[in-house]
Structure 1
Amino acid sequence: MLELLPPPPTDPLWDLTAEFAADERPERLNLVLGVYRDAAGRTPVMAAVREAEIRLAERSASKEYRGLSGNTAFNRALVEMVLGSEGSGGPAGRAAAVQTVAGSGALRLLADLVCRTRPGTTVWISDPAYVNHRPILEAAGLRVRPYGWVDADGGFDAAGVLRELSGVRRDDVVLLQGCCHNPTGVDPSPQDWAALAELAVRDGWVPFVDLAYHGLGGGLEADLAATRMLAARVPEMLIAVSCSKNFGLYSDRTGCAIVLGASGQAVRHAETTLQNAARTLYSMPPEHGAAVVTTILEDERLSALWRAELDVMRGRIAANRTDLTAHLSALGCEVQARSLARQKGMFSMLPLSAEQMLRLRRQFAIYGTTSGRINIAGIPAHRIPFLAQGIAAVLGTGSGASADAVAAAGADTGDGARARQSPAVSSMP
């Protein structure tokens, strides 16, 4: 049987990660995977998470099955965080949620819900989009169509997006990233979000919001504002929530699928459909990460500690982008610097072609995706001049530094000595 399998495609991000791990150049810089790293280049466990884990260990809770919806206290806490409290009369009162295997699992469960409700539904995704959006949707049996996202200057193409989405049919689905767009870092303005909501209400399409980076752009409340506004205006909505980035629970695979409906019966049917889909995919999600998040959100002091840590992470990401912008401007890359300055969140799109990104990797040991995406949150602050010099050299607009000179600059930062001591250190989170 196995001999009949055709050669399958491999995952480009993990291929790059493996290539980086095998690269012995001391100046190498990994900006591929979407993980937050502190100033020393580490992906830390947040203090609030560590304290919650200690409490859970001391409590020695049972490992009994939770049920198809997972941790229901976690689900309530996530709905309240995203939509506000149910008692306030807001959209949370017409929402149902199930715990999922991270944000990707939420995307897949909600895609299955759409397919079981209306087989053959078209889902519209941005172009460019998160690399896993199309595969997840198509694997669930849905049709996928793209709509543009950025304009010629690298900003949000409000007129183009509204024009393209005006052709969306009633009951089709439009996938929107709630904040910190991956891979571009370009978000709509509040006015643009309001126009999208008006279009959804007028034409009857269903917003499908992917929330993976809330808290890392403009702050937690600001990053959730667009999702809350949409939820208050549209009769139906789907929301995939990830706890990987803002709680640092990457390997604990913690997420939530939320459905909003116009009636209680519709929401109950949707919740049961999500449970049935989960049953056939993985039965029940893992408990640990959900218990950690619930412990934090239900404790006032821990919640305040978590929000403070999240603000520190957000500040470091913003400082990295500002610093990179300044260095690029100083090297004569003013146009590229202005484009980067408008972006926010973990990722930025470099204005480089696939060939230029390949050159950046081969000549300067700087690893990003071929689309130009780099992880701003993963740059040690003292490596930013090295990165800027590499970008300028590839663009041909900087000081004309050679590959050897850029490499030497990278080694001089102090990372070279650390890399030589442990050349096989993996970049995996």
Structure 2
Amino acid sequence: MFEPIERVPGDAILGLIQQFKDDPNPQKVDLGVGVYRDEDGVTPIMGAVKAAEKQLIDDEATKAYIGSHGDPQYGEHVLKMVFGAESAVLADKRASATQAPGGTGALRLAADFIASQLPGKSIWLSDPTWPNHLGVFSAAGLEIQRYPYVDAQNRLDFDGMLAALENIPKGDVVVLHACCHNPTGFDLSADQWQTVLKVLKDRELLPLVDFAYQGFGNGIDEDAYGPRLLAENLDEVLITQSCSKNFGIYRERTGCFIAVARDTEQMENVRSQLAITARENYSNPPAHGSAIVATIFNSDALYQQWHDELKTMRTRINDLRKKFVAGLEPHGLADRFAYVAEQRGMFSYTGLTEDQVKTLRDEHSIYMVGSGRANVAGLNDANMEYVCNAIASVVK
């Protein structure tokens, strides 16, 4: 029965990981994998997370299922983190939180919900976007369309984005990145969010906001500007959230799907459908990651520790961006790559071509995905000059 099954290429990023591991060059640099790294190239466990886990070992009383919507405490904390503790959306009980297996699980939950409850609606993705968006939404049977996001000069193409949004059929779904746009690092300003809001209203479009990097751009509240603006001014908003990055718990698969409705009754209707969708998909989400997050939020001391650690990570990444541009100045390339310092989050859309990326890998053992997306957190003081020299050589 398996004879007709063909072998397909593996995931590009996972393949890049293996190539990097097999490379004997002691100067090799990994700028491909999307995880935070410290100055020593390690993806650390946050001190607040370690302390929370120790507390859980002593206090955890059961390993029973946590239900299709997940841990209620976790959901409450995530809603407050996303919308703010004083949010009118929360006060009016318009938002529902359904815990999911990571941000990717939340996206699949959103995709299945849209496919089953909003049939016939296309979903619009930025060009470029996180590659797995295509896989997740396609697997759910949704028709995918694209709107421009980066222009030929490797700058945010807001005019092109706006023109496309203004022509999307009414009722379609638009995926927006709340902050730290993956893969480009180009984020919308407050004024641009206001303009997008107007178009969404006028065209009666449903926004699906991918919020995977809260706290990695400019701060917890600052990064939530877009989602909060939309939720406060639109009747219906979908948000997929992740704690993988800002808590450094990638392997614990801790995400959340948030649905904002016109009123409490409509929200409960949506919530009932989400329970069924989750049940048919993965039944119950994993509990350990959500317990870590809830434990941290339930302790003033742990919350402050986590907040300080996240700020350190954010500051380091933003400093690396500036150092990278400064490192290219001796090569006369600082102006060309100045946008890297303006971008936010772990990723940078460098503008390097696929051939240049291949040369960096083959001749310098510097690894990034073929699109030129680089994980800035893979840089450090020890490899910065090496990377800048290598990039200068392939660009020139």
Under TM normalisation by the shorter chain, which class is it? over 0.9
Residue of structure 2 in register with 1:349 after alignment: 349
Q: Partner of 1:100: helix, strand, or coil?
A: strand
Contact 2:318 2:341 in 1 (8 A): no
Contact 1:197 1:230 in 2 (8 A): yes
Deviation of the 1:60 alpha carbon: 3.0
Contact 1:128 1:149 in 2 (8 A): yes
Deviation of the 1:266 alpha carbon: 2.1
Deviation of the 1:285 alpha carbon: 0.6
CA distance in 1, matches of 2:116, 2:266: 14
Deviation of the 1:53 alpha carbon: 0.5
Deviation of the 1:151 alpha carbon: 2.6
Deviation of the 1:91 alpha carbon: 4.9
Residue of structure 1 in register with 2:148 after alignment: 148
How do 1:131-210 and structure 2 match up within 5 A?
131-210=131-210
How do 1:375-386 and structure 2 match up within 5 A?
375-386=375-386
What amino acid maps onto 1:339 in structure 2? Y
Residue of structure 1 in register with 2:391 after alignment: 391
CA distance in 2, matches of 1:60, 1:66: 13
CA distance in 2, matches of 1:269, 1:389: 57
Residue of structure 2 in register with 1:269 after alignment: 269
Residue of structure 2 in register with 1:18 after alignment: 18
CA distance in 1, matches of 2:379, 2:206: 37
Alignment partner of 1:289 is 2:289: yes
CA distance in 2, matches of 1:71, 1:88: 21
How do 1:222-301 and structure 2 match up within 5 A?
222-301=222-301
Gaps of 5+ in 1: 397-429
Which TM-score applies when normalising by structure 1? 0.90
Q: Over residues 222-265 of structure 1, what are the superposed CA-to-partner deviations in whole Å (9 max), with x where a residue is unaligned?
A: 11111111111111000000111000000000000000011222
Q: Over residues 58-81 of structure 1, what are the superposed CA-to-partner deviations in whole Å (9 max), with x where a residue is unaligned?
A: 113211111111111101110111
What amino acid maps onto 1:293 in structure 2? V
CA distance in 1, matches of 2:9, 2:170: 35
What amino acid maps onto 2:284 in structure 1? M
Segment drifting more, 55-64 vs 251-260: 55-64
Q: Partner of 2:382: helix, strand, or coil?
A: helix
What amino acid maps onto 2:274 in structure 1? L
Q: Over residues 341-392 of structure 1, what are the superposed CA-to-partner deviations in whole Å (9 max), with x where a residue is unaligned?
A: 2211100111211011001100000000000001001222221111101100
Residue of structure 2 in register with 1:339 after alignment: 339
Residue of structure 2 in register with 1:314 after alignment: 314
Contact 2:103 2:254 in 1 (8 A): yes
Segment drifting more, 147-156 vs 120-129: 147-156
CA distance in 2, matches of 1:272, 1:8: 38
Residue of structure 1 in register with 2:67 after alignment: 67
Residue of structure 2 in register with 1:401 after alignment: none
Contact 2:37 2:377 in 1 (8 A): yes
Contact 1:328 1:336 in 2 (8 A): no
How do 1:115-126 and structure 2 match up within 5 A?
115-126=115-126
Gaps of 5+ in 2: none
CA distance in 1, matches of 2:273, 2:300: 34
- Sort the Cα spacing of 1:336 and 1:164 in 2 relative to 1 into closer, same or farther, 3 A: same
Deviation of the 1:337 alpha carbon: 2.2
What amino acid maps onto 2:89 in structure 1? G
What amino acid maps onto 2:305 in structure 1? L
Alignment partner of 1:95 is 2:95: yes
Q: Partner of 1:207: helix, strand, or coil?
A: strand
Q: Partner of 2:337: helix, strand, or coil?
A: helix
What amino acid maps onto 1:141 in structure 2? G
Q: Partner of 1:36: helix, strand, or coil?
A: coil
Residue of structure 2 in register with 1:56 after alignment: 56
Contact 1:214 1:224 in 2 (8 A): yes
Q: Partner of 1:257: helix, strand, or coil?
A: strand
Percent identity, please: 39
CA distance in 2, matches of 1:376, 1:88: 33
Q: Over residues 385-427 of structure 1, what are the superposed CA-to-partner deviations in whole Å (9 max), with x where a residue is unaligned?
A: 111011000001xxxxxxxxxxxxxxxxxxxxxxxxxxxxxxx
Alignment partner of 1:219 is 2:241: no
What amino acid maps onto 2:96 in structure 1? A
CA distance in 2, matches of 1:3, 1:25: 40
Deviation of the 1:168 alpha carbon: 1.2
CA distance in 2, matches of 1:214, 1:232: 18
What amino acid maps onto 2:20 in structure 1? F
Q: Give the number of equivalent residue pairs.
A: 395
Which TM-score applies when normalising by structure 2? 0.97
CA distance in 1, matches of 2:90, 2:142: 27
CA distance in 1, matches of 2:174, 2:138: 14
